[in-house]
């Protein structure tokens, strides 16, 4: 069978989100392995598409040739169960699940139930499900998908220059994450506000427009806590500007409430930055015992203690930085990840 696939994504493939980054690198990596990869971008606000977005999606799928292997980002796939059911007899549909949409943090019960029903119906039409982190597998148990194969293909990283640090008495902290409820910026700010007599500055690099209500709340919280002069909200940064942030930082911090992997932490380690983060997804494995400190998600007190220790102790930061450099050498590359994806798709098409 020819090694070819169509990758269907919600929005633009070059969007600055973790899911889009994964999709983009996977497409590029498979092409380097000799695969033919076509990309179809869907318009609309997924996973809450309107009728026009679903009509456009239906046209995209209807135009694909019979027998095509079609890998669909779960943010879109889970929101189109009728299209998936209609097209599954003629297309080889693969659901690429970064995080089940019903498991997103902060959903009310009714919304979660609606997402779960839609997602279950859609996933029943998939011939293969690829999840991007081990932590996503148990989140799919609720769907009782039976014998449908599930493959885990975790992200990779690109080699990155070692961060040189700020070189200042003020410890520079970096958080790279879209300002949405799940990333825990509110927890991070409350933890930092509780640290007395600490000299630090935090840069938050991540979209301020994708979830505007959360971004406004976090910025208001910084003012309320008296931290507005110690926290910079940089928004989405171009690659060169983000690299400068990594280079000038001393610690990477992430108070995320839930991850299935932890791409931002892996990226920080690729720069040799020590990490203060939460115990979710693959973060504990990535950090190990010597590249940072991990605490339970949502625990303001535990996070504050870890931050106070690392900000106030230069020798500890140096030890953690040395551990981060060791962890850096263990990180899988995007080519490694692409080979795992190719193996998953080839194994399924051969035996599925």
Together in a domain, 175 and 281: yes
C-beta neighbour count of 238 within 10 angstroms: 9
Question: What pLDDT does 196 receive?
Answer: 85
Query: Do 29 and 3 meet the contact criterion of CB atoms below 8 Å apart?
Result: no
Q: Which DSSP string do the residues of 47-116 spell out, in sequence order?
A: TS--HHHHHHHHHHHHTSPTT-EEEEEHHHHTT-HHHHHHHTTTSEEEEEESS-GGG-TT--HHHHHHHH
Per the structure, the count of domains in the chain is 2
* Structural domain span for residue 293: 171-330
Which residues of the chain fall short of a pLDDT of 50? 1, 351-352
Question: What pLDDT does 141 receive?
Answer: 86
Closest CA to 195 of 51, 68, 298, 300: 300
Question: What is the helix (H) or strand (E) element at residue 5, kind and residue range?
Answer: strand 4-10
Classify residue 19 by its DSSP letter. Answer: H
Together in a domain, 186 and 277: yes
Question: What pLDDT does 145 receive?
Answer: 78
Together in a domain, 337 and 324: no
Query: Do 186 and 218 meet the contact criterion of CB atoms below 8 Å apart?
Result: yes
Question: What pLDDT does 1 receive?
Answer: 46
Residue 241 lies in a domain: yes
Residue 322 lies in a domain: yes
Question: What pLDDT does 339 receive?
Answer: 97
Residue 163 lies in a domain: no
Per-residue pLDDT reduced to its tens digit, 187-231: 999 999 999 877 999 999 999 999 999 999 999 999 999 999 999
Together in a domain, 115 and 219: no
Residue 166 lies in a domain: no
Rounded to whole angstroms, the Cα distance separating 217 from 212 reads 8
CATH of the domain at 246: 3.40.50.2000
Query: Do 219 and 232 meet the contact criterion of CB atoms below 8 Å apart?
Result: no
Classify residue 206 by its DSSP letter. Answer: S
Residue 195 has phi, psi (to 5 degrees) of -85, 125
Q: Is 192 helix (H, G, I), strand (E, B) or coil?
A: helix
Q: Which DSSP string do the residues of 229-245 spell out, in sequence order?
A: TTEEEEES--HHHHHHH
């Amino acid at each position: 069978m020819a090694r070819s696939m169509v990758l269907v994504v919600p929005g633009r493939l070059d969007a600055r989100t973790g899911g889009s980054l994964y999709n983009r690198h996977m497409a590029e990596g498979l092409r380097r392995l000799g695969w033919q990869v076509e990309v179809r971008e869907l318009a609309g606000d997924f996973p809450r598409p309107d009728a026009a977005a679903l009509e456009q999606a239906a046209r995209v799928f209807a135009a694909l040739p019979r027998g095509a292997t079609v890998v669909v980002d779960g943010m879109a796939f889970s929101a189109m169960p009728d299209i998936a059911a209609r097209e599954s007899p003629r297309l080889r549909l693969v659901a690429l699940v970064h995080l089940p949409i019903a498991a997103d943090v902060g959903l009310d019960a009714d919304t979660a139930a609606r997402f779960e029903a839609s997602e279950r119906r859609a996933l029943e039409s998939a011939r293969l499900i690829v999840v991007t982190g081990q932590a996503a597998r148990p989140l799919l148990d609720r769907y009782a998908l039976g014998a449908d194969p599930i493959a885990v293909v975790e992200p990779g990283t690109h080699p990155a220059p070692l961060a040189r640090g700020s070189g200042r008495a003020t410890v520079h902290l970096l958080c790279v994450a879209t300002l949405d409820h799940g990333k825990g910026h509110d927890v991070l700010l409350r933890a930092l506000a509780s640290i007395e007599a600490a000299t630090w500055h935090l840069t938050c690099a991540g979209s301020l427009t994708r979830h505007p209500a959360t971004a406004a709340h976090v910025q208001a919280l910084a003012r309320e806590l008296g931290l507005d002069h110690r926290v910079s909200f940089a928004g989405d940064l171009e690659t060169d500007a983000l690299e400068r942030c990594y280079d000038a930082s001393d610690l990477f911090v992430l108070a995320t409430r839930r991850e299935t992997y932890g791409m931002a932490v892996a990226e920080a380690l690729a720069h040799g930055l020590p990490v203060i983060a939460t115990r979710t997804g693959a973060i504990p494995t990535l950090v190990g015992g010597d590249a940072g400190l991990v605490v339970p998600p949502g625990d303001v007190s535990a996070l504050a203690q870890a931050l106070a220790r690392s900000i106030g102790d230069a020798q500890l930061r140096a030890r953690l930085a040395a551990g981060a450099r060791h962890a850096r050498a263990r990180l899988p590359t995007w080519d490694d990840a692409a080979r795992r994806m190719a193996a998953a798709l080839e194994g399924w098409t051969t035996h599925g």
